Every structure is written in structure tokens, then in C-alpha cells.
Amino acid sequence: MSKIKMVINMDYLDKVMKDYNEVSDLVIKDIKGIKIIYLETLINQDKINDYILKIIPKTKIPKNIKNLLPSPNVKDISTYKDLKEYLDNGFTIVIHDKEIIAVETKGNLTRSIEKPTTESTLFGPKDSFIESIQTNVGLVKRRIRSNDLKSKDYTVGKYTKSIITVLYVDSIAKTEELASLDEKLNSIDIDGFYDIGQLKPYLVNDDKNIFPGLRITERPDVASKSLLEGKIVILMDNSPYGIIIPSFLGDFINPISDDYVKSLNINFIKVMRFLCFFFSIVFPAFYVAITTYNQETVPTSLLVNFQNQRMDVPFPAVIECLITLITCEILRESDIRFPSAYGSAISILGALVLGSAAVEAGIVSPIMIIVVAITFIASLIFTDLDVINAIRYWRFLFLLFVSFFGIYGLFLCFFIFIANISNYEVLGKPYFYPIAPFDLTYIKDTLFKMKNNKRSKVLSNNIIKGRDI
Amino acid sequence: MKKILVLLISIFLLTGCSDYTELENLGITSSLFVEYDTDYKITAEIYKDDEMEYLKARGSTISEAIHNFNFESKNDIYLSHLNAIILSEDVPIEEVLYYFLRNPNSNNNFYVVVTDQEDFYDEEENIGLMINNILDRSNRNDFFVIMRDYLNKNKDIAIPFMSKDFNLDTIATYKKDKLINNLNKEKTFIYSLLTDKTSEETLKINYEDKDVVVSIDNIKTDIKVDKNIQIKLDIDATILEKDENLDTFEAKTITDIEKKINGSLENDLKKFINTLKVDETDILGLNTLINNKYKKIDKTFDKYNYDFKVSLSINKKGQLLK
């Protein structure tokens, strides 16, 4: 039996040499009959020295070397598939006699924990996810120190073999969502992922709605808060972001920083932020409607002022608005793409030079610059790129309706907008929740900051916060 | 289902606003001056940059005259921001009122004034806005109220009268669409009291050769139709200004002032009603009250006798009276 096992081990070695034929970083060492195999680019040389090389006795080698190795993570390998998987993940394979084991010797290829860049806040924790999934899970576990916090791993991607970890709090999250998610993740069959953003279309059906059905976060505190609400957090190796599912429209409008500030003050900001959301969608359309169709709604002095400003502009108000909006979108895109060192120069060039030059040249009116500037400032409140893109989509749609029907078109489009987002579901949960269906419990946690000792029924069966079931 | 969907889409998409106009093509009109000889002659006061522009057009009807503005101006005449319509004395008011009632493109909160003046427009002054502000402050009836009164068959209308130098402190009374009288300032004041339309009104009387001015804080008018028509006015007032030698700490002085004002107002009321009787213009809607009481009008308001009772009460709160 032991001879057969030894033959298999030698067979594995041959297979590795064959399969990794042109893989230049493959290293195979033979020290006193012990075969050591690793991929040089993935490992930490010090770990190999400390965990393996230093402990190989100079005289007699015992039959079972597994117990000699001081590494905290040593795995037995039973199949060639396991061997390849461990080798590809930075483990060192040790073959001796009939024994074949994998020792964790991963190199530190990730950066250290840094400040959040896309979700920065004045107060609150300053750590963010990085590209290492172990670190990211650790950052969450450091906040939820309970064995109720479960983490289930999946490996997806034929070539990338990306590790996905699904985190949930067992006593809070609903099981049907987990089952649905499990089904979705197991059915993924593609070549590979290189960021968690690519996972989105496999989790929610986005075809019907332009707004994002799940939230991307780089903050462990946001992930922890969501887990305690009954949501599920998905992390992926090599991605410094996590996905929170399900997410509702209200979640995108209210950042975590609200939790760290006095509630009376923040409720005003929350209301303002909600208004800004609608404002950033409808303001240009509203301006075009009242200046081209419904001039009677504008006070006389203001209307005369608008008229004087528009006297030299050769384009209809809709075209003028489109020119300004598209120019601003180009500016925003170039600002995001261009290296940040040059970013400020572009902003100054765009905002100051281009704006005033366009007004002087009579291409757009000053009031239009103000309208579009206010719209863009209102939309800057939202940091999620998917939300910003969705707002832009609806902004142009509103403009289209208004250009044909005036204020009537604005309300017509508004009904379509409300019908659209009310009709959308994420993992079977209504997207416009907690407004439709109305739920005061979740409103107290999102749209307002109020004292609340209950969890949302939609997200959890464990309704009372702090209670074990 | 498809038919319903097509129907629904058609309803939503074919019922929108069709009156698309770019802002720079609007001739935002502040006021219209309507004159009449054999035709209507209309002058439009239009906003142009920081000044006002005046356009003239003629037509056999109001709508024809307004339509003819299209040949005078590069911009469409836009009536949704009208501040005032100024009518010359000979304009048949019915046509003007009905035109603006039926015109969907016009607002209905502008003021209507009658004038005997002609060349009052000034390029550097927005006359329409000025009239609007003056009448707004003095709480006069706007087009909407005038139209409501006009449509009441038992009531005649009173329209502010603009005399020289934009003096708007009198009213013109109409019998249906014919101008009857231009009430003087005192009678206009009584009309304001009876219609509860006073705002920042003051009364000046002479008491023992000393001037006293009281401001009217609140008025309650009660008109009852019986054998006679009883007109009762309860007025709360405050002394605003007095001669330095007048001792208003004396309770008797205050009572005497109240009595004097009551007597004076009752006298003015009598003169006012007499004028209405002579003119046969029911601008107070007395015939409506008679009709409400008896369900018919056997005897019109001018055939009735009147009892007047004015109770003015000067506010003494916070005053130390001897």
C-alpha cells in the first residue's frame, strides 16, 4: 500500500513538471529525498526557510515530517487537483516518501490597510478593505466578534480561481436569501474575475433598472453595519471592495458617517440629501419646462431676467441645456480618468475658463451655467458611480419628456420613474423600500436617524436588536 | 390589452402642452391700455431689456387687435404676466372682461383701472407694475373679483379710477357695462369700509380745534335687510397722531372722540348711499341681500330707507386713564 502511495507521489511530481512545463517561476528542490515544490512569485522565501528548510534534520529524517513543520497552516493533499490548487495559491508542496503536504508560505503581495478613498468621512474608522481577502474578512471579524458571523467560501473562474467569501450573521440574516445567493454563485461559469465589480450582473438582474441593486463599499464599518441589519456581504480576493446585498435606493443616499454625528443635526442633512437626489435629476428639466412651456409659473421679474440673459443665445433652451450638460459630463469623466495631479487644472479650466468663455461667446446663458452647476453640485453628494450614472440617465430622460410636454412631461416622466423603481426587486426585496412598501422601522435607520430598537422585517426574522433567538 | 395600451399612451402623449415658445420670443406684457372709438385701439407695454417698449394695434374686436400685434412686433404678445389693464372711459367693459375671462393665455390676478388720461406711458417706468403695486397695497379688487361681481346679475361693479399723476384713490361705478359715476375720495373710503377692504387706512378729525388721527385696525360690517336696510359698522381703532395739547389720558376725551368719529362716519355713509341711490348702481350687492331675504326683488335697494349705526372703539389697552 505504501509503495503504491509513493509511486502516486512520484507520479504527481512528474505531472507537475509536465503541466508547469513553461512556467518559469516553478521551483522544485530535492533535499535529502524531500521534494519541495513552489511558485517563486507567490511565496515568501523567509517563510520557506523558517517553516520547511530550517527544520529538515541534518541526520535522520523521520517518516512523518508533518509534525515537524512549525507552520500554522499545513494541509494534507489527497488528489492532484488539490495539489495544483494549493500550489497556485502560494503554498509550498512537500513530498516525502508516501507523504504529501501543502505548507502555507504565501508572499505578502498586498498593500497595507489605508484610508478609504471613495467613502471618506470626517469621523468614524479610517480603515478600508485591501486586496487580501483574509485581511478583509479579519477587518469585519474585528468588529463582529461572534461565532454567529459565518463566512462561506466559493471558488469561481476557470482560470482565475477567485476566492469569494460570503459573510452573514447566522442569527439575523434570512436563510432564503442565502440559498438564493448560493445558487447564483454556484452557477457562475466563466474564465475568471479580476474585481468584485464584475460579479454584480451574476447577482442581480439589472436589465429593468438603471439604479444599482447592490452596494459596493470599501469600508469594513459599512459592511459590519449591513451584516447586523440582516444583509449579506460578499468579498473577493484581489478586490478592495465588498458587495452588500440586498441594497435599497435609500441606502445609497445615506452614508455611514450619519451614524457618527448627533441625530438632530443629521436629520436636516438627510432630508436635504434626499431633496438633492431628486433635484439633481429634475432641475435642468424643470428649468427648460418653465422657460419654454410654462412661463406663467415664473415670477415676472425673474422671467424678464431669464429673457434678457437668453437674448443672444442662438440655440433653443433644450439644446443649450444638452450642450452644457454634455460638456460637464465630459469634464467629470476627464477629471476621473486623468491623474489626480492634473485633476485640479482640468477643473479650473473647465469651470472657470470654459464656462465664462461659453457665456461670452453667446453659446449658453449664465442662468444655464448656474442651473447645470447646481445640478452637478447636488449630484456630487452621491459617491457611488452607479448611482451617479443612473441619475444622469434619468436626468436626460426627464429632459426629453420636458422638451415635448413641458411641466406635464416632467410629471409624466416622474410617474414613470416612480413606477420603474417601485417595480424593481433585489433578491426578492422591493428596491424602493422603506418608502414603498412603507416601513417606519427601516426609515428610522436610513432616511432619518431616530431611536430604533427594531430590525426591518424585510431583512430579518430576528426583529428586536440585541436579542438572541 | 394592446388596444388599452395604445389608448393610454395616446392619452398621455397627445394631451401635452402644445404652446412651446422660446423665452426670447416672448413679448412679456406688463399692461394694456384699451381705448375705443369705432375700433379698439390697444397699446401694449412690453418688457425690453431694462426699459419698456410700447406697441400699438387696432381691431374691431379685442382679439383682432391683439392678433394684429403679431404684425407690429417680432415677439408674441404674452399676457400671462399682465399687471394691469387700463381702460379709457368709453370702452365697453363687457367685451374686455369676457375676453380676458375666456383667454387661457392670460392670468386673472391683474388689476383693471379706468382712466380719463391718455399719454401716461413712460419708457423708463413700468406703469403696469406701478399700478399693480399701488392697488395691491390699497387692497383693491383685482380682475378676478371684478369679474365675479360682474357675473352676479344683482350687483354692479366698481373699478379703480386713475386720474392725473397716477392718482388711484377713487373708484368708478358702472351700471352693467356703462360708466355712471366717479366717486370722490371720501365716498371711496366709505366703500372700502363697507367692503372690509381697508388697509393702513386712517381717519382725521378735529376735536376742540385739535387734530387727531386714528388708524383703523379692524372693521366688522353688518348689513341687514328688514323693513329698512340696517348698516352697522364696528370699528377697532388706535390713536396714531394727536395735537400735543390734547389730553388723551382723560377717559372722557376718548369717548368724545369716538362719538365724533361715529357721527361723522354715519353722515358720510348716508351721503354714500344717497349717491348710489341716485346713480342706481348697486356696487355693495344690496339687491342680492334683498333677493336672499325675500327670494325676489319687489323693491330695489334705492327704494329702501336706511338706518346707520357706527361703533368705533379706540384701543385703550396699556393706557392709564384718569
Q: Would you say residue A382 has pLDDT above 60? A: yes
CA distance B147 to chain A (A): 21
What's the distance, CA A82 to chain centroid? 30
Task: Determine, for residues B16 and A313 on separate chains, whether the beta-carbon distance falls below 8 Å.
Answer: no
Question: What backbone torsions phi and psi does residue B52 show, to the nearest 5 degrees?
Answer: -115, 145
* pLDDT for A469: 47
Instruction: Return the higher-pLDDT residue of A135 and A110.
Output: A135
Query: B83, B94 in Cβ contact below 8 A?
Result: no
CA distance A374 to chain B (A): 21
- Indicate the average pLDDT of chain B: 88
Assigned C-alpha cell, A356: 465664462
Provide ipTM, 2 decimals: 0.81
Task: Determine, for residues B80 and A317 on separate chains, whether the beta-carbon distance falls below 8 Å.
Answer: no
Of A292, A304, A406, the CB nearest to B28: A304
A409 touches B at CB < 8 Å: yes
Q: What 3 state SS string does chain B have?
A: CHHHHHHHHHHHHHCCCCCCCCHHHEEEEEEEEEEECCCEEEEEEEEECCEEEEEEEEECCHHHHHHHHHHCCCCEEECCCCCEEEEECCCCHHHHHHHHHHCCCCCCCCEEEEECCCCCCECCECHHHHHHHHHHHCCCCCHHHHHHHHHCCCCCCEEEEEEHHHEEEEEEEEECCEEEEEECHHHHHHHHHHCCCCCCCEEEEEECCEEEEEEEEEEEEEEEECCCEEEEEEEEEEEEEECCCCCCCCHHHHHHHHHHHHHHHHHHHHHHHHHHHHHCCCCCCHHHHHHHHHCCCCCCHHHCCEEEEEEEEECCCCCCCC
Which positions 21-80 of B are in contact with A (Cβ < 8 Å)? 21-24, 26, 28, 30, 47, 49-50, 78, 80
Best of B8, B14, B15, B17 to disrupt the A interface (most A CBs within 10 Å) is B17
* pLDDT for A196: 92
A289 contact partners, CB below 8 Å, separation of at least 6: A402, A406, A407, A409, A410
Block residue for cell numbers 541526520: A59
Query: A220, A125 in Cβ contact below 8 A?
Result: yes
Q: Would you say residue A352 has pLDDT above 80? A: no
- Stretch A68-78: mean pLDDT, rounded? 84
Residue A142, helix vs strand vs coil: coil
Task: Determine, for residues B26 and A404 on separate chains, whether the beta-carbon distance falls below 8 Å.
Answer: no
* pLDDT, tens digit, 9 for 90 and up, residues B34-44: 999 999 999 99
Closest Cα to residue B111, out of B134, B78, B77, B92?
A: B134
Best of B23, B46, B52, B108 to disrupt the A interface (most A CBs within 10 Å) is B23
Q: Would you say residue B16 has pLDDT above 70? A: no
- Stretch B34-63: mean pLDDT, rounded? 92
* pLDDT for A317: 92
Task: Determine, for residues B28 and A303 on separate chains, whether the beta-carbon distance falls below 8 Å.
Answer: yes
The H or E element spanning position A164 is strand A162-169
Task: Determine, for residues B22 and A408 on separate chains, whether the beta-carbon distance falls below 8 Å.
Answer: no
Contacts of B133 in chain A (CB under 8 A): none
* pLDDT, tens digit, 9 for 90 and up, residues A112-147: 899 998 888 888 899 999 998 989 999 999 999 988
Burial of B103 (0-12, 13-18, 19+ CB in 10 A): middle
Q: Would you say residue A376 has pLDDT above 50? A: yes
Task: Determine, for residues B16 and A311 on separate chains, whether the beta-carbon distance falls below 8 Å.
Answer: no
Query: A28, A95 in Cβ contact below 8 A?
Result: no
CA distance B125 to chain A (A): 14
- Using CA atoms, how far apart are residues A233 and B69, in angstroms rounded to an integer? 69
Closest Cα to residue B76, out of B111, B115, B100, B106?
A: B106
Assess whether the previous peptide bond of A62 is cis (omega < 30° from 0).
no
Query: A156, A166 in Cβ contact below 8 A?
Result: no
Closest Cα to residue A444, out of A429, A430, A456, A426?
A: A456
Task: Determine, for residues B23 and A291 on separate chains, whether the beta-carbon distance falls below 8 Å.
Answer: yes
Residue A351, helix vs strand vs coil: helix
- Using CA atoms, how far apart are residues A174 and A426, in angstroms rounded to an integer? 14
* pLDDT, tens digit, 9 for 90 and up, residues B73-101: 888 899 999 999 999 998 989 999 999 99
Task: Determine, for residues A295 and B23 on separate chains, whether the beta-carbon distance falls below 8 Å.
Answer: yes
Q: Dihedral (C-alpha) A457, A461, A467, A469: value to the nearest 10 degrees? A: 170
Rg (Cα) of chain B, in Å, rounded? 25
* pLDDT for A1: 46
Assigned C-alpha cell, A32: 535529502
- Number of A/B CB contacts below 8 angstroms equals 64
* pLDDT for A8: 64
Of B13, B15, B24, the CB nearest to A307: B24
Task: Determine, for residues A407 and B17 on separate chains, whether the beta-carbon distance falls below 8 Å.
Answer: yes
- Using CA atoms, how far apart are residues B317 and B312, in angstroms rounded to an integer? 15
* pLDDT, tens digit, 9 for 90 and up, residues B248-275: 778 888 889 999 999 999 999 999 999 9
Q: How much helix, strand and coil, in percent to the nearest 5, is found in chain A?
A: 50, 15, 35
Q: Would you say residue A343 has pLDDT above 70? A: no
A222 touches B at CB < 8 Å: no
Overall residue count recorded for chain A in this entry: 469
CA distance B85 to chain A (A): 16
Residue of A nearest to B11 (CA): A412
Q: Would you say residue A74 has pLDDT above 70? A: yes
Of A308, A317, A406, the CB nearest to B16: A406
Residue of B nearest to A315 (CA): B22
* pLDDT, tens digit, 9 for 90 and up, residues B177-234: 889 999 998 899 899 888 876 666 788 888 888 888 988 888 899 999 988 999 999 9
* pLDDT for A4: 57
Assigned C-alpha cell, A469: 433567538
CA distance A207 to chain B (A): 22
- Stretch B226-243: mean pLDDT, rounded? 89
Task: Determine, for residues B23 and A316 on separate chains, whether the beta-carbon distance falls below 8 Å.
Answer: no
The H or E element spanning position A454 is none
Task: Determine, for residues A295 and B78 on separate chains, whether the beta-carbon distance falls below 8 Å.
Answer: yes
Assess whether the previous peptide bond of A255 is cis (omega < 30° from 0).
no
Give the type of residue at A457.
K
End-to-end CA distance of chain A: 51
Among A181-195, A311-325, B16-30, B113-127, the range scoring the smallest mean pLDDT is B16-30
Contacts of B129 in chain A (CB under 8 A): 300
Among A241-245, A420-424, B2-6, B199-203, the range scoring the smallest mean pLDDT is B199-203
End-to-end CA distance of chain B: 87
Task: Determine, for residues A405 and B17 on separate chains, whether the beta-carbon distance falls below 8 Å.
Answer: yes
Question: What backbone torsions phi and psi does residue B168 show, to the nearest 5 degrees?
Answer: -120, 30
pTM of the model: 0.81
The rounded percent of chain A whose pLDDT value lies above 70 is 94
* pLDDT, tens digit, 9 for 90 and up, residues B105-126: 898 889 999 999 888 888 888 9
- Stretch B155-165: mean pLDDT, rounded? 90
Q: Would you say residue B71 has pLDDT above 90? A: no
Nearest-5° Cα angle at A372, A368 to A377: 145
Query: A109, A42 in Cβ contact below 8 A?
Result: yes
**Cα torsion angle, A29, A34, A39, A45, sign:** negative
Q: Would you say residue B15 has pLDDT above 90? A: no
Which positions 256-295 of A are in contact with B (Cβ < 8 Å)? 291-295
pLDDT band at A7 (very low <50, low <70, confident <90, very high): low
* pLDDT for A457: 85
**Which residues in A12-161 belong to E strands, given as ranges?**
26-31, 34-39, 74-76, 91-96, 99-104, 149-156
Q: Would you say residue A180 has pLDDT above 70? A: yes
Assigned C-alpha cell, A401: 419628456
Overall residue count recorded for chain B in this entry: 322
- Using CA atoms, how far apart are residues B197 and A332, in angstroms rounded to an integer? 57
The H or E element spanning position A429 is strand A429-430
Contacts of A364 in chain B (CB under 8 A): none
* pLDDT for A59: 62
Q: Dihedral (C-alpha) A224, A226, A230, A232: value to the nearest 10 degrees? A: -90
* pLDDT for A176: 87
Closest Cα to residue B242, out of B268, B200, B209, B199?
A: B209
CA distance B128 to chain A (A): 12
* pLDDT, tens digit, 9 for 90 and up, residues A275-284: 999 999 999 9
Q: Would you say residue A60 has pLDDT above 80? A: no
* pLDDT, tens digit, 9 for 90 and up, residues B275-321: 999 999 999 999 999 999 888 888 889 999 999 999 999 887 666 55
